Every structure is written in structure tokens, then in C-alpha cells.
Chain A
Amino acid sequence: MLKILPSELKLIAQYIYDISGIFLDESKSYLFETRLSSIAEGLGCTTYQDLYNKAKRDPKKAIERQIIDAISTNETLFFRDKGPFELLQHKILPEVIDKRTPSSPILKTNIKIWSAAASTGQELYSIAIIIKELIPDLARYNISLLGTDISDTAISQASYGKYNKFEIERGLPQKQLQRYFTLFGDSWKIKDEIRAMVNFKKLNLMLPFTALGKFDIIFCRNVAIYFTLPDRKKLFNKIADSLADDGFLVIGSTESLTGVCSRFVPKKHLKSLFYQKKL
């Protein structure tokens, strides 16, 4: 494995930060090596400085994309910890549906949901499955489900909706696996009825995202932990701008907004927390 020199750590850490907002501690040189050495070696680089130069000179930014893929963590599961999904099913969705259903029966109920660090799509598909099971007359709804992630590879896997048994077995109950997935050899592919409900696109959370519009529900779990505190503050401030005034925000179960964003108040439902805007 290609060793990283102490003098290169700062350069590479800064470069990764610039392209992704992900802050890697310079003391963890093994992290740089395990994630980047195969890219460097594949490109015939003999140093990380060399990799940096090649990436900067690459007009198509293909190397940059490879580096982002390698650095971003794609650990994710279907229904990853039950709490947020039970919260969605029993508290958030019923309330949002109640608030958004127009008095006229000919008008559709509009609901916008965003999975801000969608990774390979498991979270958004889990949300889609809950919606499918909770709402019998989906035709009367206009539900937009958007998943975004910084990694092209993650987004293309999410769009394809195919998972191997390691990715699918934990978390997803057999009943839902059989109902919403089709077996292809050792992999499972999401069925079209669920696939058609969602959209995925690439997005770097460090950049402005007001163009996405306002959402009723935002899931932003376990991504801000990779950002510095100032960037975390900026991110949740932007999220507050993108959330409807009576909307709901769900963050990771070990994350906190204390000292990060005072525009949100935490609320507890059963064993889970969610956030709403302070009005």
C-alpha cells in the first residue's frame, strides 16, 4: 500500500475538504492510505502529491469523483435503527398528511420528502415502503421522494436499486423483502412500484440547495458527523431554510443540534427525537 508522507497529509486533507466538505483528521494517515492507495496506484502515481496533481489537472473530474466515492462512507441499511421509521409511520406522516390534505376532495395532497444523505438508497426506499403501506389511495397524493448524495457511485447504485444479501439482510423483514424485492441470483432488486416513487440525484451538501424547494420532511442522518462544526452550523441553517415552517427534521440517533443550530427545537415521540423549527 502506498504510504502517505506527513508533508502530503495536509495537502490531501485540504483537497478532500474542498471537494466534499468531509473533514479527515490528519492524525489518521491509515484512513487516507486505505481509501486512496488503490486509486493512486491504479493511476500509476508514486506519491499522493502525484495523485493530487493528476486530480487537479483532470478536466473531466473523473479522479475527483473516484476520490469522493472512496472517502464517503456508504454504511447504510434498510430501516437502519427502527426508531426514525416508526416515528415517520406513527407520528410524522399522519401529522403531515393531516396538515396538507386540502379541503376539496378533487385536489391532491402534496408532500415533499428529502433524504439528504441517501447513500445507496436504503433509507429512501424504506420511507417509500412505509408510505406505500400507510396510504392505500396513493393516487390522491402527490408525494415527491428525493434522495441526494455526494457520491456518483452511491447514487447510481441507489437508482438501480439492487442489493446483495449483506446489504439487505439486516433490518429488512422477510415479509417486506419478499413483497418489494425480486431475487436476481444472490442479489435483490427493488420492484418498479417502489422504484417509481423515488428520485435520486447527486448533491454536495456544502453547496447551496435552495433550488430543491421546501420540504415537509427532511432526513439528514449520520452525514454531518463528517463535517467540521462551522460547516455543520451552515448545513443545518440551510436545512432550516429548506424546511417548511411546520415541517419535520430527523437526524441520526447519536447526533445533536445543541450548539449547532438554535433554529430547531427537539421533540420526543416515544423513544425517538425529531426537530421542528422554532417559530
Chain B
Amino acid sequence: MKNLTILVVDDDPVIRRLLQQRLLKANYEVFVAPDGYKAEVILLDKHVDVVLTDLMMPGDIGGIEVLEIAKKINSDIDVILITAHSSVDTAVEAMKKGASDYLEKPINFDELFLRLDKIANVQTIFRSAQDLQNAMDVTEHAASETIQALEMKSAELQGKLDEVENILRNTRYSEETRIIQALDTIADLKD
């Protein structure tokens, strides 16, 4: 399982650095952004698996907007919101908008790592399901080409058989003529 790449978005430089250090120490790849604008620049430029964003930030881009920007850029990105106890209701609203989870301040790192493990597991399962699906598509595509070619061929053969039957049953001609006509009809098939 590969390590997740995490984007930390927080206006508080102390929390930003704390999160960065703890995540790096736990072997995650980490980007940091002090606000939503920087976050968007990073999301457009780098592959990110998880966005960890403060819910309340000064300016016009808060955590909810970061969530919306991230989901718009790549709907597979998981977003975890960091919230003060007083704004849990907002965090729950955010989950309705597609956030994966929220964490209350002060951050409990054991809890954070557990959530990240869970996200990594789900993303891995999701990817292997996609891989399997792709493999199935390839197999199905090859099988369908073969089956469709056979289907057309067998319809053609059936048509010829019907034709030969009609010729052989046509009593207006002598048996010899009928046999010759039937053989000619079959001969058409050989190329």
C-alpha cells in the first residue's frame, strides 16, 4: 500500500508546522497551504489523496470552500475537516457535502492516523476494484469481438443452408441440376 499524499490547509502557522512534522514523521507525503488560494494552486499541480483543512479560516475561503474546490478538481480526494467543538454542526453539514470525516480541536494524532489508515484502505480497495473492472472490460471486449464475428458467420451459414435446402427441394429442376446448383452455392462460402 502506498503512502498517502496529504495537503494541510490551515491559517495558523504553528498548527500547520505541527501537522506537517507529525505527518512527515509518520511517512506521509505532505504539502502545506496557509489559505484556500494556495491550496487550489497545489491541488491543480500535484496529486493529493487527502486534504486536511481547518474549517474556520479568515478571508472568503473557509474549509467548506476548500472541500468544494478539492472535490471539483478530483472527486476521489478525501477531505477531513478540523473543527472547534463549537462548530461540529457545520462539520456535519460538510459531511453531507462530501467530506469524509472531521476532527475536533485539539487534534488527537492517534485519531487522525486511524482515520488516515481507514481512508488509505478504502482508496486501495477502490483502486483494485477499478483495476479489476478495467481487466474485465478488456476481456469482455475481446470476447465480444469474437462472439459477434461468430454470430454473423453462423447467420451467414444458416442463410446458405436455407438457400441450399430450397434448391434441393425445388422439383422444377432435375436432381442433377439441383445438386450442381447446391454445390455452387456452397462453393461461394469457401473464400
Contact = CB atoms under 8 A, between A and B. Distances in A.
Interface of A: 81, 83, 165-166, 169-170, 183-186, 253-258, 262, 265-266, 268, 272-273
Given A165-B75, A166-B126, A257 B96 contact: no
Nearest to B126: A166
Contacts of A255: 147
Contacts of B158: 262
Contacts of B154: 258
Given A81-B140, A165-B75, A265-B155, A253 B148 contact: yes
A184 B96 CA distance: 7
Contacts of B130: 170
Contacts of B137: 81
B96 A256 contact: no
28 contacts: A81-B137, A81-B140, A81-B144, A83-B144, A166-B126, A170-B130, A170-B133, A183-B97, A183-B98, A185-B95, A185-B97, A185-B98, A253-B140, A253-B141, A253-B144, A254-B140, A255-B147, A256-B150, A257-B151, A258-B151, A258-B154, A258-B155, A266-B151, A266-B152, A266-B155, A268-B148, A272-B148, A273-B151
B183 interface: no
Interface size class of B (residues with CB under 8 A): 20 to 34
What 9 A-B pairs come out closest when comparing CB atoms? A253-B144, A185-B96, A258-B154, A254-B143, A254-B144, A266-B151, A273-B148, A266-B155, A256-B151
Given A165-B75, A253-B147, A254-B144, 9 more contacts: A81-B137, A81-B141, A183-B98, A184-B96, A254-B143, A266-B155, A272-B148, A273-B148, A273-B152
